[in-house]
Chain A
Amino acid sequence: MGKKSVIPFGPQHPVLPEPIHLDLVVEDEVVEEAIPNIGFIHRGLEGLAEKKDFNEMVYVAERTCGICSFGHGMGYCEAVEKLMNVEVPERAKYLRTIWMEFSRMHSHLLWLGLTADAFGFESLFYECWRIREWVLDIMEKTTGGRIIFSVNQVGGVHRDLDEDQIRFMKGELDRIERDLKNCEKTLFEDATVQKRTRGIGVLSKQQIHDLGAVGPFARASGLKYDMRMTGYEAYGNLDFEPVISDEGDCYARILVRTKEIYQSIRLIRQALDQMPAGELSVPVKGMPKGEAMVRVEQPRGEAVYYVNGENTRFLNRFRIRTPTFANLPGLCQMLQGANYADVGILVVSIDPCISCTER
């Protein structure tokens, strides 16, 4: 029986460039307890809503996160639109869906790379990020920004897709799918990957449910919980089923996220084919009054947006509940009883985004 000691993990750690601090109570290389601590990069974005015009605030809201930026901008716009009873044109809904799915692909590919890096598979990391780069190129060609797209506005979107861009997107999707198939073999079958991920950090469906986890993290344990099923934007017109797995370990999380990239490719193809012609935005009249809440499926899970206005240009209150925040209890649960050597991969497996958690 060894002596208990506390090992600090983060806020600067090689496995994760995100400022989360965990106090790991370790005994004989086994983690007994993990005490999380966040608050290193609070930026006060929600407070800015009281100082910025509600239209300007879109650009602040999408800077909540550097990866799911489009989703945050969209969630904010949806919340304000709901508050002001604005019906967004159909074409804008489809465009938002397409860009949202591209951002999901880019987020998942980034995560796959980081996971490969976490268990020391550097070349796989580069392969995943090479594919991700194509997604970023598509974004830059169609929205003007690589990470922060700034195409959302309250009442619609700013930019349209022309025929050339749609053709380009479809061509690139084929290329991404082909190369991902190549990577998939390694991700799903390689002994190195399996040894580091199979049976690690297992959470049952009941545990996931009780801990309130969301997103691919929850779906990997068999919880069929996907906000896209509620049919916001154009999701109601698209045909898809949430990807789930029953195993609930780190391997299942890789599986679910990889399959979700294919799902996104299929969703984008469907949306591109079905997209109707028409207006991009509708003029928004009046000031936000009352309160509204929307739930959006971000790449990392369900995000909640709450807005409250009092008939002025400035919102009274803006609140975001980000998916990582909901997944932190699940992380602490997983860490209990884990091997110290697995802590890195376990932390990465929830796809933590601490910057958006702290807003």
Chain B
Amino acid sequence: MGIMTFRNTMLANLFKKPVTTKYPAEPIDYPEGSRGHIEIEIEKCISCMLCAKNCPSGAITVDRKEGSWEINRMDCIQCGYCTMKCPKKCLHIVPGYTAPDGVKQVDRFVRPPETMKPAAKPAAAPKPAEEKKPEAAQKAADAVKTEETKQN
């Protein structure tokens, strides 16, 4: 049994600079690969809804008609599962946490109109090509519907 066993540590700490930082006054460095928040390259998105369907917390809403992609930042648990599921690899999980907020912040991204129907551009066969794309998406959407009904 000893007394003053902490003395050396205590004295040493007097001459060291603080371990803590003055966050948020001082910015913080996030390491590469830190899972902070989700970013989307909306031009690449094909509204297949796979991300929305697979998100464990249901944070993503995709509207195929409007070409929009929405994320509820407060619902997202930064698991990164959507980035693995996206067939176009247009979702990325990047460093930097969402700031605390009093309201549930929903970020909405809408695809620019020129990328809405990429198949419509070649004049040769607009119709079949146009239909081809949403086919897969339709399947996914149907699957979502069945799942929803099941949940209800």
Contact = CB atoms under 8 A, between A and B. Distances in A.
Describe A's contact surface by its main secondary structure: helix
Given A127-B9, A130-B19, A191-B1, A51 B151 contact: yes
A124 interface: yes
Interface string A117-155: 000000110010010010001001100110010100000
Given A60-B56, A144-B33, A190 B78 contact: no
A144 B80 contact: yes
A63 B77 contact: yes
B93 to A, nearest CB: 7
Contact of A52 (B10, B32, B56, B93): B56
Contact of A59 (B5, B8, B9, B81): B81
Contact of B79 (A59, A124, A182): A59
Contact of B35 (A55, A127, A145): A145
Contacts of B8: 182
Given A130-B19, A189-B2, A182 B35 contact: no
B15 interface: no
Contacts of B19: 130, 133
Contacts, number: 67
Contacts of B1: 189-191, 194
A53 B54 contact: yes
A158 B84 contact: yes
A123 B81 contact: no
Contacts of A130: 19
Contacts of A137: 31
A186 B151 contact: no
Given A144-B34, A144-B93, A186 B5 contact: yes
B3 interface: yes
B93 A123 contact: no
Given A59-B56, A133-B19, A140-B34, A189 B5 contact: yes
A183 B12 CA distance: 13
A88 B38 CA distance: 29
